[in-house]
Amino acid sequence: MMSAFRTAVTAVRDQLASLATGHVVVREVKSEQVAAFRSEAQVRRFTITIDEPKALGSTDAGPTPIEMLLAAFATCQEVTYRLHAELLGIALEKVAVAASARIDRRGLFGVGDAKAGLLSVHAAVTLTTSAPQSDIRRLQEAVDRFCPVLDSLRVPTPVTSALTVVAPAATGRAAE
């Protein structure tokens, strides 16, 4: 008998496999800076506070954007391990990921020619399982191939932006 979780995962996979064309969805986040470097991001029905440390003159009310990126990566790895363990029929009791990144802080401040983005990312994955090594290798290969955030970090993704300038209410004049 399949678990409710495995039944749901398999049903979604079968539904996607039956489609004649791709099934692209749009994920959306809205964010607004509310004080110093602190922002409130709206993600579906959740509000997430993102901030910078006090050393940068902010309030340290939440993780930094880079820490949020690492959290997204770590949790996506966990989800992808769990999902593909279910699809492959591999017993997986627990999965935990510790993610870290190297970044040259000079890049954010425009100092020298330092890169503003991440220099490298490392994930330490811990699986609690009695599965044989051959199954664990198959699982790791599936995760390396199908983890959306890992793919987004590894492969350049086109990014576009639009800028809207609104005049402050007090002056009634737009920035020039």
Inform me whether the pLDDT recorded for 174 exceeds 80. no
**Widest CA span of the chain, in angstroms?**
69
Instruction: Flag whether pLDDT at 175 surpasses 80.
Output: no
Q: Does 51 share its domain with 119? A: no
Q: Is residue 166 part of a domain?
A: no
**What CATH number is given to the structural domain containing 131?**
3.30.300.20
Residues 42 and 78 in one domain: no
Asked whether residue 116 is domain-assigned, the answer is yes
Same domain, 57 and 70: no
HSE-CB at 149 with a 13 A cutoff on CA atoms is: 18
120 and 56 in a common domain:
no
Structure tokens at 90: 């591999």
pLDDT value, residue 99: 98
Q: Do both 70 and 143 map to the same domain?
A: yes
- Are 58 and 68 within one domain? no
Same domain? 52 vs 68: no
146 lies in the same domain as 73: yes
Q: Per the domain annotation, does 138 fall within a domain?
A: yes
Confidence of residue 20 (pLDDT cuts 50, 70, 90): confident
Distance in Å from the first CA to the final CA of the chain? 66
Report which of residues 3 and 175 the model is more confident about. Answer: 3
Number of domains in the chain: 2
Sign of the alpha-carbon torsion through 62, 52, 103, 117:
positive
Q: Which residue, chain included where needed, has tokens 């880079």?
A: 66
Cα of 167 vs its chain's centroid, Å: 33
Same domain, 143 and 85: yes
pLDDT tops 60 at residue 176: no
| Residue 68 shares a structural domain with residue 145 | yes
Q: Report the share of the chain in percent with pLDDT over 90.
A: 81
Domain that holds residue 52: 25-62
Q: In terms of domains, do 46 and 126 share one?
A: no
Do 71 and 149 share a domain, yes or no?
yes
- Residue-wise pLDDT for 107-135, tens only, equals 999 999 999 999 999 999 999 999 999 99
pLDDT given at position 74: 98
Please determine, for residue 42, whether its predicted confidence score (pLDDT) is greater than 90. yes
Reported as a single tens digit per residue, the pLDDT across 157-169 is 999 999 999 999 9
According to the model, what pLDDT value does residue 172 have?
55
Q: For residue 27, give both structure tokens.
A: 């994920």
